[in-house]
Amino acid sequence: MAVPLDYFVILSAFLFAVGTVGVLVSRNLIVMFMSIEIMLNAANLALVAFSRRQMLMDGHVFVFLVMTVAAAEAAVGLAIIISLFRNRESINADQLDLMKW
Amino acid sequence: MSDYLFIVPLLPFLGFLINGLLKDRLSKNTVIGLAVGSVGLSFVVSLFLFFRLIGLDAEQRTIQQVLFSWIPVGGLQLDFAYLLDPLSAVMILVVSGVGFLIHVYSIGYMAHDPGIKRFFIYLNLFMFSMLTLVLANNLILLFIGWEGVGLCSYLLIGFWFDKKSAADAGKKAFIVNRVGDFGFLIGSFILFWSAGSLQFTDLMHKAPEVFAVGGGLVTAATMCLFFGATGKSAQIPLYIWLPDAMEGPTPVSALIHAATMVTAGVYMLVRLNFLFVLAPTTMLVVAIVGCATAFFAATIGLAQNDIKRVLAYSTVSQLGYMMMACGVAAFSAGIFHLMTHAFFKALLFLGSGSVIHAMSGEQDMRKMGGLRSHLPVTYKTFLMGTLAIAGIPLFSGFFSKDEILWQAFSSGYGHPIFWLMGLITAAMTAFYMFRLLYLTFYGGERYDQHVASHLHESPKVMTMPLVILAVLSVIGGWIGIPHALGGGAWFEKFLEPVMVHAPKMEAAEAGAGVEYGLMALTIALVLFAIYMAYVLYNKNIAKAGSLRESLAGVHKTLINKYWVDEFYGAVIVRPVVNGSIFLWKIFDVLIIDGIANGLAIITQDMSLTIRRMQTGQLRSYLAIFLLGVIAIIAFLVVR
Amino acid sequence: MLVFSVAAIIALASAVMVITVKNPIGSILFLIMSIMAQSVLYIMLSGLFLAAFLILVYAGAILVLFLFVVMLLNIRYADLGADKLGKLKPLAWVFGAALLGELVWVTMGATSTLGEVDPLFGSVPAVSRLLYGKFVYPFELTSILLLVAVVGAVIMAKREW
């Protein structure tokens, strides 16, 4: 490939930044959660790129495990969102402020 | 024999413990039986030990019993140990013997008092402390006893604590004593620092090597110790608590403030005689203070109207004699007078208690009179005591007081001025004691009908101790008849191993002729004083009134005790109280509370500010989280 | 290069669209598109197994789960209330930019062309050889984790005990 490695890494950085901004900016929980998934993906991309450079397969296994964990996390997180929605009829993250002083 | 020493103080202590813990579960008679019985047994054991002691050779009459090692810290080795030698043997006999008689007397005197159980508990504690004091083999254990008797004095003076004057008197006694104790402690510190030990036998051996004669250290230590003695033995300047202490029940006055506790100071001085003889300056101070106190207190006693007050000032005066004796290195004479004084002063106090008991609580002599016929036993024993204290020949007081006067005149540390002051004081003593006798027992009856109807002689349990003490007041002096009068001076010889030969004692050896002459002069003056008292208070009582008016100024000063209490109040007490009020209002409330409260307020304000971070909002937490991540990455990048 | 550029632009653009669309279904669909583009990038990096895995698990399972939840609960973005943390928006852009800047700076100047690899790099046998060999412990632990997650999700979402 004639594509240099850092292009992939820079792309991963961009994706990560987008995910971060998404988490902070949006008010509703669904988009927040999806932004987290974007961030996870960006990390995966970087991992694969570096694994390609090192010629080691460890990065791929790492990505495998990360995705598994992401799946588990998504399942539990959605369950939480469901019970929250049941109680409050809203997915506005700003309304979850019972832990304030 | 050394194994039995600890029984003597232990018995009253057990009495105190059992009675104290089981007070409400024991009947009144059980408490009394335990209390009086323990002291009686203690006396028996003391007798037994005394006779065993006599059986030993003179040089070996020192027995110590170490109970346990109490404070082994660094260079300080203090044991809880008792020491039996001639001096402490005399003391335990006097303390437990007179104490026992007073316990018996109290059974009758306090019979109707609701707090009688508490009384005997305190009395037992006192006996334990006093016996520990005189049996201690080191200065700090002595101090424990010292403090213990001070505590019991407080408890017993303020026995009727719901009476404000009694409670105040108790406090005054304790506080004034504490002032003296400060001196005692400083003195002991100096001693330990320079000699490395506080045990009496150790100190006795080490003293000549460690201290130079008249040196600064030993003078400082002995002065401080003497200051402590002025507190306990009611000398100038710390005598002020003793007259007030008459608020307590009369047996208390007899036991504590006549026979035992107040003599603790004298005992301490005699016990440490080997130190005092190394400090001639202190000896001079002791003699001056003792002499002045004797004179001063006697003048006050001349004008008092309360029967117990007269006796209280008389006690202060006689203690002055004892101190003066120590000051002129006549230590055994001091102890001799201590013993005879215990006999006749206890007798006088108990007798006055009998009078007060018969008079339904009246203590003012101006309201008494003619009690001779109504209270025959009390009168007769009281007369014996009065003759003894006045120093009439053949009575015990004569021998001891005369010995002191003679030593004051002739000793290497003495001076004719001491003798002269002592002589005038003896005359005054005779005068005011006979004044008391005449006003109380002779003449017309100045009391009202109510009192007259209750007038009765005291019960046997009260009069028996009086009789015994009267006998002792007569014969008690016969063990110390000096050589000049043909006696064997056994008392002095008995105490000799405890005393150190004072450096200056060999110097004066005035002849026997001078001694006879002085003795005769004393007797003459005393008889004259008695005659004066007879004229003024028996033959024609109106004369006393006119004398009082013509010397009105003097009388006012005397009856107000030279306003010493008021002086102390203004000069010492008031500034201290004001100082503490200042410290309280300004320092404690403003500054310290301010700091404490200020810290709390600061914390509160800080937390009010910080808690705003807890918004509960997910997104703000994430933002801060992210900020941290950026910072870390930046840090890593820069590095 | 062309392939890379196209795939990259699609991935990035879709990610941005995820955040900005008004419709929850739209967000999820854009995310799926981004995943697809990233899968292409994986293939470019010889991560053949992972590319397939990404589509199967991520796009096919996780995001479909999202879709189910959104549809089941009938979530609409328009029902949201006012923005309590309005001040956060510009701050978020700043943070994002800062993060981006940092990450880019780190990788700057580290150019490297990718070398040749043997054809079996990134294939299933290679992955499995590592997974069951060197990384068998994490593998087993992850399975337990999945079990826990499943149980947890079921408990949390039950309507009543």
Model confidence pLDDT, tens digit, residues B445-458: 777 777 777 777 78
What per-residue confidence (pLDDT) applies to B545?
A: 75
Type of residue at B121? I
Confidence of residue B603 (pLDDT cuts 50, 70, 90): very high
Q: Which residue of C has its CA nearest to B618?
A: C85
- Nearest by CB: C27 against A31, A79, A95: A31
Contacting subunits of B (3+ beta carbon pairs below 8 A): A, C
Residue C101 in contact with partner chain A when CB distance is under 8 A? no
Strand partners, B84: B63
**Chain A residue with the nearest C-alpha to that of B609:** A101
Q: Give the residue extent of every domain in chain A.
A: 5-90
Beta strands in B93-201 (DSSP E): none
Residues C119-137: tens digit of each pLDDT:
777 678 888 888 898 899 9
Q: Which residues in chain B have Cβ-Cβ distances shorter than 8 Å to A24? A: 619, 622-623, 626
The pLDDT value given to residue C115 = 67
pLDDT at residue B207 greater than cutoff 90:
no
Per-residue pLDDT, averaged over B338-358, amounts to: 90
Q: Could you read off the pLDDT of C12-57 as tens digits, one per residue?
A: 999 999 988 888 899 999 999 999 999 999 998 888 899 999 999 9
In terms of pLDDT, which residue wins out, B552 or B13? Answer: B13
3-state helix, strand, coil in chain A (%, to 5): 80, 0, 20
Q: Which helix (H) or strand (E) holds B214?
A: none
B153: nearest Cα among B263, B46, B237, B318: B263
Distance from CA of C52 to the nearest CA of B (A): 32
Residue B406 pLDDT greater than 80, yes or no: yes
User: Does the distance separating the beta carbons of B618 and A96 come in below 8 Å?
Assistant: yes
Contacts of A27 in chain B (CB under 8 A): 619
A23, A24, A97: residue with CB nearest B615: A97
The amino acid that residue A48 corresponds to is V
Q: If you count residue pairs, one on A and one on C, with CB atoms under 8 Å apart, how many are there?
A: 239
From the list A1, A35, A79, the residue facing C153 with the nearest CB is A79
Show which of residues 4-23 on chain C sit within 8 Å of chain A, judged by CB atoms. 4, 8, 11-12, 15-16, 18-19
Assess whether the previous peptide bond of B237 is cis (omega < 30° from 0): yes
Asked if the Cβ–Cβ distance from B623 to A24 is below 8 Å, we say yes
Residue A99 C-alpha, separation from nearest chain C C-alpha, in angstroms: 16
Task: Mark yes or no for CB contact A60/C1 under 8 Å.
Answer: no
- B240-265 burial: b if 16+ Cβ within 10 Å, else e: bbbbbbbbbbbbbbbbbbbbbbbbbb
**Tally of CB atoms within 10 A around C55:** 16
Cβ–Cβ contact C40 with A under 8 A? no
Is there a contact between A75 and C50 if contact means CB atoms under 8 Å apart? no
What per-residue confidence (pLDDT) applies to B562? 79
Q: C25 in contact with A at a CB cutoff of 8 Å?
A: no
Residue C95 phi, psi dihedral angles, 5° rounding: -60, -45
Domain A5-90 has CATH 1.10.287.3510: yes
Residue B83 is given by DSSP the state E
Report the residue from C85, C99, C102 with minimal CB separation from B620.
Answer: C85
Chain A residues with CB under 8 Å of B625 CB are none
Find the range with the poorest average confidence among B28-37, B435-444, B537-546.
Answer: B537-546
Share of chain B above pLDDT 90, in %: 17
The lowest-confidence range among B201-205, B238-242, B299-303 is B201-205
Contact check, Cβ <8 Å, C84/B633: no
Q: Do B616 and A93 touch (CB under 8 A)?
A: no
String of DSSP letters for B556-602: HHHHTGGGHHHHHIIIIIHHHHHHHHHIIIIIIIIIIHHHHHHHHHH
Among candidate residues C81, C84, C65, the one with its CA nearest the CA of residue C73: C65
pLDDT given for residue B507 in this prediction = 45
* DSSP element (H, E) containing B329: none
Mean pLDDT of chain B: 84
pLDDT tens across B75-91, in order? 788 888 888 888 888 88
Average pLDDT for A71-82: 91
Which of the pair, B22 or B547, is modelled with greater confidence?
A: B22
B629 to C106: CB separation less than 8 angstroms, yes or no: no
B620 to chain C: which residues are within 8 Å by CB?
85, 88
Q: Chain C residues with CB inside 8 Å of A50's CB?
A: none
Find out whether B288 and B223 touch, Cβ atoms under 8 Å: no
Q: Is the pLDDT of residue B336 over 80?
A: yes
How close C83 comes to chain A (CA, Å)?
A: 7
- Say whether C50 and A64 touch across the interface (CB within 8 A): yes
C95 closest CB neighbour out of B620, B626, B637: B626
Of C88, C99, C105, the CB nearest to B630: C99
Query: How close is the nearest chain B Cα to the Cα of A98, in Å?
Result: 6
Closest chain A residue to the Cα of C26, Cα to Cα: A31
Identify the pLDDT of residue C148. Answer: 94
pLDDT at C108: 74
* Nearest chain A CA: its distance from C79 CA (Å): 7
Nearest chain A residue to B621 by CA: give it.
A24
> Taking all residues of chain C, what is their mean pLDDT, rounded to a whole number?
84
Of A20, A23, A97, the CB nearest to B617: A97
**Does the beta carbon of B621 lie under 8 angstroms from any beta carbon of chain C?**
no
CA-nearest residue to B635 within chain C is C102
Q: How far apart are CA B79 and CA B68, in angstroms?
A: 6
B503 pLDDT band, cuts 50/70/90, is low
pLDDT digits (tens, 9 = 90+) for C71-80: 888 777 665 6
Residue contact B629–C84, C-beta within 8 A: no
Inform me whether the C-beta atom of residue A2 falls under 8 Å from chain B C-beta atoms: no
Q: Which residue of A has its CA nearest to C39?
A: A45
Q: Which residue has the higher pLDDT, B141 or B201?
A: B141
Lowest mean pLDDT, pick from A2-11, B116-125, B602-611: A2-11
Among A54-58, B62-66, B606-610, the range scoring the smallest mean pLDDT is B62-66
Size of interface B-C (CB pairs under 8 A): 26
**Cross-chain Cβ contact A96/B615 below 8 Å:** no
Mean local confidence (pLDDT), A54-58: 84
More confident residue, B13 or B614: B13
- Is B6 a residue whose pLDDT tops 60? yes
Average pLDDT over residues B45-70: 81
Structure tokens at B13: 């202590």
pTM of this structure: 0.69
Judge whether residue B508 has pLDDT over 60.
Answer: no
Q: Do A72 and C93 touch (CB under 8 A)?
A: no
Q: Give the pair of three-digit tokens for residue B92.
A: 């335990």
Residue from the list B617, B622, B626 with its beta carbon closest to the beta carbon of A94: B617
- Local structure of residue A92 (DSSP, 8 states): B
Average pLDDT over residues B357-361: 82
Q: Alpha-carbon distance C74 to C68, whole Å? A: 10
- Give the other-Cβ count within 10 Å of B25's Cβ: 7
The reported pLDDT for the residue numbered B87 is: 87
pLDDT greater than 80 at residue B502: no
Helix, strand, coil distribution of chain B in percent, nearest 5: 75, 5, 20
pLDDT at C161: 55
Res B152 pLDDT > 80: yes
N residues, chain A: 101
* C88–B630 CB contact, under 8 Å: no
68-97 of A, contacting B, C-beta below 8 A: 93-94, 96-97
Say if residue B392's pLDDT is above 70.
yes
The pLDDT value given to residue C143:
94
Q: Which residue has the higher pLDDT, B287 or B261?
A: B287
Among C8, C27, C85, beta carbon nearest to A30: C27
Predicted confidence at residue C35, as pLDDT, reads: 95
CA-nearest residue to B621 within chain C is: C88
Query: 3-class DSSP state for residue B78?
Result: strand
Comparing C-alpha atoms, which of B441, B301, B311 is closest to residue B368?
Answer: B441
What pLDDT sits at residue B484? Answer: 64
Mean of pLDDT values over B239-267? 86
Nearest Cα of chain B lies from the Cα of A14 at a distance, in angstroms, of 15
**To the nearest whole angstrom, how far is the Cα of B611 from the nearest Cα of chain C?**
18
| A residues 4..23 contacting B (CB < 8 A) | 20, 23
pLDDT of residue B332: 84
**Is A98 in contact with B626 (Cβ distance < 8 A)?**
no
ipTM associated with this complex: 0.88
Q: Which chains touch A (3 or more CB pairs under 8 A)?
A: B, C
